[in-house]
Amino acid sequence: MIKIENLEKIYRTDEVQTKALNNVSLEVAEGEFVAIMGPSGCGKSTLLNILGLLDEPDGGSFTFAGTEVAHAPERRRAALRKQHIGFVFQSFNLIDELTVAENVELPLIYLGVGAAERQAKVTRVLEKMQVMHRRNHFPQQLSGGQQQRVAVARAVVNSPRLILADEPTGNLDSSNGNEVMELLTELNEAGTTVIMVTHSEHDARYAHRVIRLLDGQVVLEHARA
Amino acid sequence: MFKNYFLVAYRNLVRHKGFSFLNIAGLALGLTACLLIGLFVYDELQFDKFLPAGERVYRIYTEQTSKETPETYSPVSPMYATTLKQEFPEVEQTARILMNPTTNLLVVGDKKIYVKDGLLVDSTFFGVFPLAFKYGSAAGALDAPTSIVLTEDVATSFFGPENPVGKEVKIDTTGFVVKGVLRNDLSKFHLKVNYLVPLAAAQLPAARMKRWGWHQFFTYARLRPGADAAQTQAKLQRYIVEQVKPTMKDEEMNDKPFLQPLRDIHLYSATFKYDLTVKGNITYVKALSFIAAFILLIAVFNFVNLATAKSMQRAKEVGIRKTIGASRQQLMLQFLSETVLLTLVSVLLATLLTALLLPALNAFTGKTMTFDLLRNPALLGILVVLTVVVGLLAGFYPALVLSSFQPVKVLKSAVVTDGIFGRVQWLRHGLIVVQFALSVFLIICAIVVFRQVSYLHNKDLGFNREQIMFFPMRGDNMSRHYETFKNELRQVPGVVSASIGYGFPGDQVAGDGIIVPTNGEQKNYGVTQLMVDYDYLNTLGLQLVAGRDFSPDLKTDKDQAFIINETAVKELGFGTPEQALGRIMKWQVWSDQNPDSLKVGKVIGVVKDFHYKSLYDKLEPAVLQIFPPAYWKVAVKLKGDNVGSSVEGVKQVWGRFNPESPIEYRFLDDNFDEMYKAEDKLKTLLWTFTGIAIFVGCLGLFGLATYAAERRKKEIGIRKVLGASVPTIVALLSKEFLLLVLVAAVIAFPAAWLAMSRWLQDFAYRIDMPLWAFGAAGLLAAVVAFLTVGYQAVRAATANPVTNLRAE
């Protein structure tokens, strides 16, 4: 489903050039669960942002579901994002002014889904994530684990083909973290491709395959032990 | 989708109460000021628009080209109307009004009321001004010399609600028959009118009505449809030069006639001499419009500033929405609808405030403006347009900035760094500079206007205007026995002196010619004629600089003596005041029986210049002489204490001479204060709206300072840990804003200088530009800015650094 070849990303300031990604090539098949690991500053998040069509590479190619998207215009990338990709962040990134249900509903609004269908989908996903009883609460009224479950609910509400998770358990204690990992695994088992950036060896064990980055390069790729 | 936008907008409003308050209060105040000024300006622009075919009506006025700077006069010779009607086929109808600003006693049965603004008009008046009648009709209403047409108010005060047509009204002792009653909707008519009487009633001598030198009629002409006013005007000017001037023998003819559109009269006649219309002033209307635009601009800038400053807090939301798939257009739409919502709340608030404050403005301006949204759908439309336009104006830039955020950048760090906002910094600073420049500009104008107005009220006018009771004589008994009347007035305890004459300061004065024989030539000069008695100089406290006062003991003083002022000494070419003494002057006596008789006399005294007219007008040469036939007005100088009982005493004397009519008096200084009413009002309006402008600007500055402090929390924390004191940190945070105020002042100073120099030029007597006002305005702006910013700075500086650093 995803194929990148010789991907490059360079950050420039006035005096310094930093290669965040250097000739990275990898493929992710439909239905895979891939973990990307590496020390801070190795380029994991940069890679994830490019995979999520939030950032553009400076070189190389990126094929998403058969089409080249490395330099697609913002409008097309926004369209692909809202149809096919769900995001889960370390810091949850829920909108504080919206309730749980409204946060989850947001992607459907941008997709132009009708009100009745939105309600049905939101209810379904909230029940699945076990936060239905919190539907009218605001993010600050929830625990970290609950917030991340809402974030996952928002990521999957429009049934994306790909979920990108950036350190999804980074702000959670271990039991809440495990719950979130279980959720991602369930989604993966139901057919959704998951790519996750993580520091945690424990979390990486949920993945089928681990890709290790160092200084912007893939140094190791191995299947789950 | 919009529901979601408004939901977020609403919750943002509620969550950030302080911020919302600053935004809404600032905008609502600005809009209120705008709406009130807008109503006022609209009202001023409506004058005479209610008259059908009014666009074809013109007033004839003249420029007197003999003066150094040509002066514009409203009243013209009666011959203009005659000529236009007879010789100009493009003129459909003409109407004249006699300049006759007196108050008359109207009598119906036992009811006696003094009524001002009675107009003596041509019977064609309603042909040019088709006013609406409540009773009777315009046709033939003024045909008989005994006809009178009343306004509704006057009719009601005499006759109550009944139809008075056919009833008798006496003016003093002459009887008139009511032929019609005008409807009460004359508030937008440029003429002040309470009743109308045909010119025929005045029985003006036919010979006088043919004089080109008798400038006594307000004259109007209605052109035929399709006639060109500019051509008619040019033709009239040619006619005067080619046909009239050559026929003039004794009199000089310096008229240059012009046609003034009816609908310009109210606003564009501020400098016209002897005008008796309801005066507006286009300068003030423009100034207020500018101020309204300024205030709205300041409010909108606040909005933009606060919104972009706050965008740091919204960055995360933008990042999330973009990640989820929102397009830039969708985000812009979201932020724009938020601003429109905020604007809507402000507009609603402003509407309420306007409705509440309008009665006060009405009382202040003497207008009857209404703000009725239900009855005036246009007003509703304006409010809707205002909401959308202001909302878009204020929201567009912040929306553009916010929607441009890159999710990768804004989501990465918990706090958005300054880098992203660096590019909007210049804009924020630019807007603050503009705001403060406008405020400094307004403060300077307010100070200058205040000083000039105080100057107008307090300048030494060269005579003593305190405690002088002033009234016209009424009834034959009083006029015939004016000397006895005056003597009895002098007997009243508390009366210092009394003078009877025509030509008191602040009242009507007559202009006429004086002939000065110089080197065998008879030179005719235009001067002001003050018809005085033997007590004029001491009653007004005028000072002689040469010669002596008139004396009742010298028989020749009545018929062979003149006193002149210093300006006359100069303009008549007499050299020094001493040299003027003894010079011969000749005056053509005012007499219908003997129009050619000359009074020949010597200059016996020179008085120090005194301002008998408003300070708008330059002092003119004045000639004082004893001339009882013109005596009309009485000035009674009272002692400073017990004024009340002195006035009572004067009233009793009046009652003995005229028990029929009640006395109608005022004090001379009130006459003068009245002259500067427009300036007084301008002063008040300017101070009020300058205050609002500064306040609104401060709201914005306060918000910005809050965010600046917020943004630099970490920096302040580190500085404090390293040992910075509270004052250094306050200075650090305030410096930036004070610098902006300085830049603003530099921009505002020349603009204010120009504007105020031009305004002051309208006054013949004016203050020097007060330089300190510039310093004071700059300082005031700086102090206000410092107080606003300082509060936030002190708060930030005294906060516990540990909390701030941990938040990072």
A82 touches chain B (CB under 8 A): yes
Q: How far apart are CA A179 and CA A172, in angstroms?
A: 10
CB contact under 8 A, B8 and A97: yes
Q: Which residues of B276-289 are buried (b: 16+ CB within 10 A; e: fewer)?
A: bbbbbbebbbebbb
Model confidence at A121, in pLDDT bands (50, 70, 90)?
very high
Region of B136 on the Ramachandran plot (φ > 0 left; ψ -120 to 50 alpha; else beta): left
Note whether residue B793 is domain-resident.
yes
Q: How far apart are CA B507 and CA A29, in angstroms?
A: 101
Residues B670 and B683 in one domain: no
Strand-by-strand arrangement of the B633-638 sheet: B495-501, B633-638, B468-472, B666-667
Strands (E), A13-57: 17-28, 33-37
Give the gap in angstroms from C-alpha A171 to the nearest C-alpha of chain B.
13
What integer pLDDT is reported at residue B531 of this predicted model? 94
What integer pLDDT is reported at residue B150 of this predicted model? 95
Residue numbers in A near B321 (CB within 8 A) = 95, 106, 110
Minimal Cβ distance to A49: which of B7, B330, B408: B408
Which range, of A23-27, A117-121, A200-204, B690-694, averages the lowest pLDDT? B690-694
The partner residues of A225 in beta bridges, in order of sequence, read none
A52 touches chain B (CB under 8 A): yes
CB contact under 8 A, B325 and A111: yes
CB contact under 8 A, B324 and A81: yes
Residues B687 and B669 in one domain: no
Residue B315 has pLDDT above 60, yes or no: yes
Q: How far apart are CA B344 and CA B328, in angstroms?
A: 24
Residues B512 and B570 in one domain: yes
Residues B664 and B683 in one domain: no
Residue numbers in A near B330 (CB within 8 A) = 110
Minimal Cβ distance to B323: which of A81, A98, A111: A81
C-beta of residue A87 within 8 angstroms of C-beta of residue A164? yes
Residue numbers in B near A82 (CB within 8 A) = 324-326
Residue numbers in A near B326 (CB within 8 A) = 78, 82, 110
What integer pLDDT is reported at residue B68 of this predicted model? 66
> Rounded mean pLDDT of B787-799?
80
Give the gap in angstroms from C-alpha B326 to the nearest C-alpha of chain A.
6
Complex confidence, ipTM = 0.82
* CATH 3.40.50.300 holds for A2-93+160-223: yes
What integer pLDDT is reported at residue B56 of this predicted model? 95
- Two tokens at A178? 């495990």
> Rounded mean pLDDT of B512-531?
86
Residue B13 has pLDDT above 60, yes or no: yes
User: Residue A171: which of A139, A138, A147, A202 has the closest Cα?
Assistant: A147
Note whether residue B385 is domain-resident.
yes
Containing A111, the helix (H) or strand (E) segment is: helix A100-111
Q: How far apart are CA A115 and CA A105, in angstroms?
A: 10
Q: How far apart are CA B94 and CA B219, in angstroms?
A: 7
Closest chain B residue to A166, measured at CA: B412
C-beta of residue B527 within 8 angstroms of C-beta of residue B536? no
A14 touches chain B (CB under 8 A): no
> Rounded mean pLDDT of B666-686?
82
| Count of domains forming chain B | 4
C-beta of residue B683 within 8 angstroms of C-beta of residue B454? no
Which range, of A197-201, B354-358, B417-421, B607-611, averages the lowest pLDDT? B417-421
What integer pLDDT is reported at residue B808 of this predicted model? 40
> Rounded mean pLDDT of B544-558?
92
A113 touches chain B (CB under 8 A): no
pLDDT in tens, B235-266: 999 999 998 888 876 566 788 999 999 999 99
C-beta of residue B216 within 8 angstroms of C-beta of residue B205? no
Residue numbers in B near A55 (CB within 8 A) = 406, 408
C-beta of residue B125 within 8 angstroms of C-beta of residue B196? yes
Q: How far apart are CA B534 and CA B60, in angstroms?
A: 40
Instruction: Please tell me the total number of residues recorded for chain B in this structure.
Output: 808
Q: How far apart are CA B286 and CA B779, in angstroms?
A: 28
A161 touches chain B (CB under 8 A): no
User: Residue B668: which of B487, B471, B455, B474 has the closest Cα?
Assistant: B471
Alpha carbon B19 to chain centroid distance? Answer: 39
Q: How far apart are CA B786 and CA B185, in angstroms?
A: 52
What integer pLDDT is reported at residue B418 of this predicted model? 47
Give the gap in angstroms from C-alpha A225 to the nearest C-alpha of chain B.
32
- Two tokens at A28? 């992710």
Residue numbers in B near A79 (CB within 8 A) = 325
What integer pLDDT is reported at residue A158 of this predicted model? 87
Residue B559 has pLDDT above 50, yes or no: yes
Residue numbers in A near B405 (CB within 8 A) = none
What integer pLDDT is reported at residue B413 of this predicted model? 55
DSSP secondary structure of B247-261: G-SSS---EEEEEEE
Residue B419 has pLDDT above 60, yes or no: no
Closest chain B residue to A48, measured at CA: B408
A55 touches chain B (CB under 8 A): yes
> Rounded mean pLDDT of B760-782?
89
CA distances B74 to B209, B533, B675, Å, are: 17, 30, 18
Residue B744 has pLDDT above 50, yes or no: yes
Within 13 Å of residue B277, how many CA atoms lie on the same side as its CB? Answer: 30
- The amino acid sitting at B783 is V
User: Residue B181: which of B142, B215, B154, B200 has the closest Cα?
Assistant: B154
> Rounded mean pLDDT of B361-380?
85
pLDDT in tens, B685-733: 888 888 888 888 888 777 777 777 777 777 777 777 777 788 888 888 7
C-beta of residue B59 within 8 angstroms of C-beta of residue B260? yes
CB contact under 8 A, B7 and A154: no
Longest dimension (CA), chain B: 108
Model confidence at B613, in pLDDT bands (50, 70, 90)?
confident
Q: What is the 3-state secondary structure (H, E, C) of B65-83?
A: CCCCCCEEECCECCHHHHH
CB contact under 8 A, B8 and A75: no
Look at strands A162-166 and A85-88 and give their pairing: parallel
Minimal Cβ distance to A110: which of B8, B12, B330: B330
CB contact under 8 A, A97 and B12: yes
Residue numbers in A near B328 (CB within 8 A) = 74
Residue B67 has pLDDT above 80, yes or no: no
Model confidence at B615, in pLDDT bands (50, 70, 90)?
confident
C-beta of residue B178 within 8 angstroms of C-beta of residue B164? yes
Give the start-to-end residue ranges of the domains of chain A. Answer: 2-93+160-223
Q: How far apart are CA A120 and CA A124, in angstroms?
A: 6
Give the residue from B609, B641, B675 where a domain finishes: B675
What integer pLDDT is reported at residue B250 of this predicted model? 59
Minimal Cβ distance to A109: which of B4, B11, B322: B4
CB contact under 8 A, B326 and A89: no
- Two tokens at A6? 């010789």
CB contact under 8 A, A95 and B317: yes
Residues B670 and B682 in one domain: no
Minimal Cβ distance to A93: which of B7, B8, B316: B316
Residue numbers in A near B419 (CB within 8 A) = none
Question: Choosing among B324, B332, B338, B403, which should be mutated to test the A contact, i.e. which has the most A CBs within 10 A?
Answer: B324
C-beta of residue A80 within 8 angstroms of C-beta of residue A2? no
Closest chain B residue to A78, measured at CA: B325
C-beta of residue B697 within 8 angstroms of C-beta of residue B298? yes
Residues B81 and B26 in one domain: no
Give the residue from B264, B288, B318 where a domain finishes: B264
CB contact under 8 A, B327 and A89: no
Note whether residue B67 is domain-resident.
no
Helix axis angle, B668-675 relative to B677-711, nearest 10°? 50
Q: How far apart are CA B249 and CA B357, in angstroms?
A: 60
* CA-CA-CA-CA torsion sign (B347, B353, B359, B361): negative
Share of chain A above pLDDT 90, in %: 43
Share of chain B above pLDDT 70, in %: 96
Give the residue from B654, B675, B696 where a domain finishes: B675
Give the gap in angstroms from C-alpha B12 to the nearest C-alpha of chain A.
7
> Rounded mean pLDDT of A130-137?
92
Note whether residue B18 is domain-resident.
yes
Q: By a Cβ cutoff of 8 Å, what residues of chain B touch chain A?
A: 1, 4, 7-8, 11-12, 15, 316-317, 319-328, 330, 406-408, 411-412, 414
Closest chain A residue to B12, measured at CA: A97
CB contact under 8 A, A74 and B328: yes
Residues B509 and B568 in one domain: yes
A222 touches chain B (CB under 8 A): no
Minimal Cβ distance to A87: which of B7, B317, B323: B323
B-facing residues of A in 59-78 (CB < 8 A) are 74-75, 78
CA distances B370 to B373, B374, B383, Å, are: 9, 11, 15
Region of B642 on the Ramachandran plot (φ > 0 left; ψ -120 to 50 alpha; else beta): left
A79 touches chain B (CB under 8 A): yes
pLDDT in tens, B211-243: 888 888 999 999 999 999 999 999 999 999 998
Give the gap in angstroms from C-alpha A14 to the nearest C-alpha of chain B.
14
Closest chain B residue to A163, measured at CA: B324
Closest chain A residue to B313, measured at CA: A96
Q: Which residues span the domain enclosing B708?
A: 439-453+678-808
CB contact under 8 A, A82 and B412: no
Residues B639 and B766 in one domain: no
Residues B304 and B365 in one domain: yes
- Using CB atoms within 10 Å of the CB of residue B691, give its burial: 0 to 12 exposed, 13 to 18 middle, 19+ buried: middle
Residues B662 and B685 in one domain: no
* CB pairs A-B closer than 8 Å: 70
Residues B664 and B707 in one domain: no
Share of chain B above pLDDT 90, in %: 41
> Rounded mean pLDDT of B64-90?
87
Model confidence at B210, in pLDDT bands (50, 70, 90)?
confident
Residues B443 and B499 in one domain: no
